[in-house]
Amino acid sequence: MSQIPKKTVTKRFQASALIGYVGLLILMPLWLFVLAPRGGYSTGFVFAVYILPLLLPLKGIIQDKPYTYAWANFIVLIYFTHGLTLLWVSPQEMLLILLELFFATCMFIGCTYYARHRGQELGLKIRKLKQDLADEKAAYEQDSPRDEEK
């Protein structure tokens, strides 16, 4: 089976997604365990909350699956929210916060448009809800007997 080539725009969005992803994957452990360790929290807790979610899409990203890039956006929102929150409560860490927001933004935009463009190139389609509802209605009407006596 031959690989369907990627267009230039698709490659650019993938590069953006990967820059953001790898940036967060390097930044978060470095920040939370080396540069500014979180006092009062166990290492396991910090790992589970801030690092583990980044590892969930790793296999699909390595395998270049557009669907993984799409759902990875739900994960990157954790880091975007974390960065925005820290803007208010921890301005002394501004450089690290801005890096987190930069990487999260790169990943979000890259993942969104990479999944879209690559999905189109591969011919993947997400069915429209309207079509699903019409199919369900047709199946229901076909299976249920009608009361003609009313």
Q: What is the pLDDT of residues 33-82, one digit of tens each?
A: 888 887 788 888 889 999 999 999 999 999 988 889 999 999 999 999 99
Whether 28 maps to a domain, the answer reads yes
C-alpha to C-alpha distance for 17 and 79, rounded to whole angstroms: 14
Q: Which residue has the tokens 């490659």?
A: 11
Count of the separate structural domains present in the chain: 1
Per the domain annotation, does 1 fall within a domain?
no
Q: Does residue 2 lie within any of the structural domains?
A: no
Which pTM was predicted?
0.77
Q: Would you say residue 113 lies in a domain?
A: yes
Instruction: Convert the pLDDT of each residue in 5-45 to its tens digit.
Output: 888 888 999 999 999 999 999 999 999 888 888 778 888 88
- Residue 96 placed within a domain: yes
Domain for residue 97, yes or no? yes
d(CA 27, CA 85): 17
Q: How far is CA 150 from CA 102, 138, 146, 147, in A?
A: 64, 22, 10, 6
Kindly report the number of other CB atoms within 10 A of residue 51's CB atom.
15
CA distance 20 to 24: 6
In a domain, 147, yes or no: no
Is position 3 within any domain?
no
Q: Which domain holds residue 61?
A: 8-142
